[in-house]
A = this chain, B = another copy of it.
Amino acid sequence: MGRLVMKFGGTSVADLDRIRNVARHVKREVEAGHQVAVVVSAMAGKTDELVGYVEDASPDYDRAEYDMVVSSGEQVTSGLLAIVLQEMGVPARSWCGWQVPIRTTGMHAAARISAIPPENLLKSWDEGRVNVIAGFQGISPEGRITTLGRGGSDTSAVAVAAALNARCDIYTDVDGVYTTDPRIVSKARRIERISYEEMLELASLGAKVLQTRSVELAMVHKVPLRVRSSFDAPDSPLQVMEDGRGPGTLVCDEDEVMEEQVVTGIAYSRDEAQVAVRRVKDKPGIAASIFGPLAEAGISVDMIVQNVSTDGFANITFTVPRKELRRAVEVLEREKINIGFEGLDTADNVAKVSIVGIGMRSHAGVAAKMFRTLSEKGVNIEAITTSEIKVSVLIDEAWLELAIRALHSAYGLDAA
């Protein structure tokens, strides 16, 4: 018996049959004695339809009006789920973001949650109801509807859990977080427990199972977060135990991750492109002259490598998101005189592979093993970045699957 927030994404509520399946999951938890709040996304495809209308109305649309239109999708799902729950004999009511209220900043289409006063939801719980909350949306200080940006429903769910001092189960179309993408490595294993820090790295490095912001929020507020499948039979005995064992993957404090691996997971991203700025003067301020204009243009730069030659010139190489490559080149060409480079080389056939694990902090040689493994397979490394708990390398995209499989095996992640 406890407080529980359950979050269901768009594919889990794609039609009324699936909404009924969601309701059975909710009913099971209510019957187990939990106080339940449910956060729902729009029915799959609805948000795209609504965004399509907005973009058709004007390419240069007002984001406040975008929020007005697009937030309606979650509103529909929350009402329908409340009706289906009532039909199953489970008292329930729906809540729009403004009704809860989920207070956000006024940055329309990309708002951040600032506060969730829990009184209304707690009162509704006291009255014995399941609270069904429209995800992805809130209300600005000016009283207008805001949205949190794509995938924001995960963030809504974690924020609601934090406000209610509840744990949070994220139901999705996979049955947990895997050591790597099972479509690439058939021996990928489901991870039983993973620390917030590792999950944050995996999410930001390309694993799509959770929104980065929702993991951050869970970490800050210490919300126990479980990723599990909405396609499990709702009445299956896949219950969460008192000790935290259960279906899916538990994202939790490092202390609670019992069996610590050196490397917990391997993430990858094909969304990479490389730019090499050839023969710039190796002098103070040269990096600023390149990365300042890119930052102003809103282009995020990731891995940076600088090779200094002996004649006072340097080559600076970095990566940008693949769809920003053309714009990055435009910005640099415009700044060519200021920067003073000889030429630009670009490549969009690169990919990033990252190993992540809190065990790296206490184990030496983890990165060296990565480089050796790739070298043995003849994979050339274009660039490297590291943090306390991750190592990322940039490689030719053609070698991506090969590299992931080799690393998965080398770090002992393969399923028996």
Copies in the complex: 2
A82 to B68, Cβ gap below 8 A? Answer: yes
What is the minimal beta-carbon distance from A14 to any residue of chain B, in angstroms?
12
Tell me which of A94-102, A176-184, A221-229, A296-304 binds B: A94-102
Contacts of A79 in B (CB 8 A): 54, 65-69
A83 to B61, Cβ gap below 8 A? Answer: yes
Q: Does A93 contact B (CB under 8 A)?
A: yes
B83 to A57, Cβ gap below 8 A? Answer: yes
List residues 27-72 of chain A with CB under 8 A from any CB of chain B.
Answer: 50, 53-54, 56-58, 60-62, 64-69, 71-72
In which size bucket is the chain A interface? 35 or more
B75 to A68, Cβ gap below 8 A? Answer: yes
Which secondary structure dominates where chain A touches chain B? helix
Partner of A54, one of B54, B78, B83: B83
Q: Does A143 contact B (CB under 8 A)?
A: yes
B99 to A86, Cβ gap below 8 A? Answer: no
Q: Does A145 contact B (CB under 8 A)?
A: yes
B80 to A94, Cβ gap below 8 A? Answer: no
**Contact A53:B96 (CB < 8 A) given known A72-B76, A83-B58:** no
A82 to B99, Cβ gap below 8 A? Answer: no
List residues 81-95 of chain A with CB under 8 A from any CB of chain B.
Answer: 82-84, 86-87, 93-94
**Contact A60:B72 (CB < 8 A) given known A53-B16, A80-B54, A145-B96:** no
Q: Does A144 contact B (CB under 8 A)?
A: yes
Contacts of A96 in B (CB 8 A): 68, 145
Q: Does A168 contact B (CB under 8 A)?
A: no
**Contact A76:B69 (CB < 8 A) given known A98-B98, A144-B99:** yes
Contacts of A58 in B (CB 8 A): 83-84, 86-87
Contacts of A66 in B (CB 8 A): 79, 83
B76 to A62, Cβ gap below 8 A? Answer: no
Contacts of A99 in B (CB 8 A): 143-144
B72 to A94, Cβ gap below 8 A? Answer: no
A69 to B65, Cβ gap below 8 A? Answer: no
Least CB separation from A144: chain B residue: B99
The answer for the CA separation of A98 and B101 in the assembled complex, in Å, is: 13
Q: Does A19 contact B (CB under 8 A)?
A: yes
Contacts of A93 in B (CB 8 A): 62, 64-65
The answer for the CA separation of A199 and B86 in the assembled complex, in Å, is: 42
Partner of A80, one of B57, B60, B67, B145: B57
Contacts of A86 in B (CB 8 A): 58, 61-62, 65
A60 to B76, Cβ gap below 8 A? Answer: no
Least CB separation from A101: chain B residue: B143
The answer for the CA separation of A72 and B72 in the assembled complex, in Å, is: 5
The answer for the CA separation of A61 and B86 in the assembled complex, in Å, is: 8
What is the minimal beta-carbon distance from A45 to any residue of chain B, in angstroms?
13
A83 to B98, Cβ gap below 8 A? Answer: no
Least CB separation from A49: chain B residue: B76
Interface core residue of A58, A68, A71 (most chain B CB under 10 Å): A68
**Contact A80:B53 (CB < 8 A) given known A75-B72, A96-B68, A98-B98:** yes
Least CB separation from A78: chain B residue: B68
A68 to B56, Cβ gap below 8 A? Answer: no
A-B contact pairs, 14 of them (CB 8 A): A16-B56, A16-B57, A53-B80, A54-B79, A57-B87, A58-B84, A60-B87, A65-B80, A65-B83, A65-B86, A67-B79, A72-B73, A72-B76, A96-B145
